[in-house]
């Protein structure tokens, strides 16, 4: 599962007036975008995320500042550094994610494949590990 987590480099356009980065669903990201939100004002010592999702895929982009994202599939872990506004990380469903080490000016943009549904979040890490060991990748299994 962890091998599906990958960096995506978005094309940059621009001229002497500045830069422009375009991100389109089902083209630049591997899903249709149904929800967009962003995280800012997080202290350097705060850990955000701390969950996995049954159905939602994500792309995270630090449009300002920097942060780190640790992904975990119950067996392997990997840390990604988001430090350029034209680089994102794709996170498939059922991957545990922790976002942390936010710079003071960090704005972390999140693109999601699904509308918010609290029932599809797995927020207990031990429960997540048990589900992954047992191969329970769907809600209700």
| Residue 115, both tokens | 């509308």
Rounded Cα distance, 96 and 5, in Å: 11
Question: pTM to 2 decimals?
Answer: 0.93
Beta bridge partners of 80: 69
User: How much is the pLDDT for 112?
Assistant: 98
Q: Would the pLDDT of 90 be above 70?
A: yes
Q: Would the pLDDT of 139 be above 80?
A: no
Rounded Cα distance, 69 and 77, in Å: 10
Is 86 a catalytic site residue?
Answer: no
> Closest by alpha carbon to 28, among 90, 95, 120, 109?
90
pLDDT averaged over the chain?
95
User: How much is the pLDDT for 137?
Assistant: 77
Beta bridge partners of 48: 99
**Number of other CB atoms surrounding residue 6 within 10 Å:** 14
pLDDT, average across residues 122-137: 93
Q: Which of 20-24, 126-130, 133-137 has the lowest mean pLDDT?
A: 133-137
Q: Over the stretch 94-116, which tens digit does the pLDDT of each residue have?
A: 999 999 999 999 999 999 999 99
Q: Over the stretch 111-120, which tens digit does the pLDDT of each residue have?
A: 999 999 999 9
The active-site residue, picked from 19, 51, 86, 115, is: 51
Rounded Cα distance, 44 and 59, in Å: 21
Cα dihedral 93/48/8/139 (nearest 10): 0
| Domains detected in the chain | 2-12+24-134 (2.60.120.10)
């Amino acid at each position: 599962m962890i091998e599906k987590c990958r960096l995506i480099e978005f094309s940059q356009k621009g001229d002497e007036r500045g830069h422009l980065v375009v991100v389109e669903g089902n083209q630049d990201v591997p899903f249709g975008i149904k929800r967009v939100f962003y995280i800012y004002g997080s202290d350097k010592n705060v850990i955000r995320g701390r969950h996995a999702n049954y159905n939602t895929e994500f792309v995270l982009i630090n449009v300002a500042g920097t942060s780190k994202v640790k992904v975990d599939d119950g067996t392997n872990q990997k840390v990604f550094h988001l430090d350029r506004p034209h680089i994102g990380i794709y996170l498939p469903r059922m991957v545990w994610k922790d976002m942390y080490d936010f710079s003071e000016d960090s704005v972390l943009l999140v693109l999601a494949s699904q509308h918010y549904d609290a029932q599809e979040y797995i927020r207990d890490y031990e429960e997540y590990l048990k589900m992954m060991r047992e191969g329970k990748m769907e809600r209700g299994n």
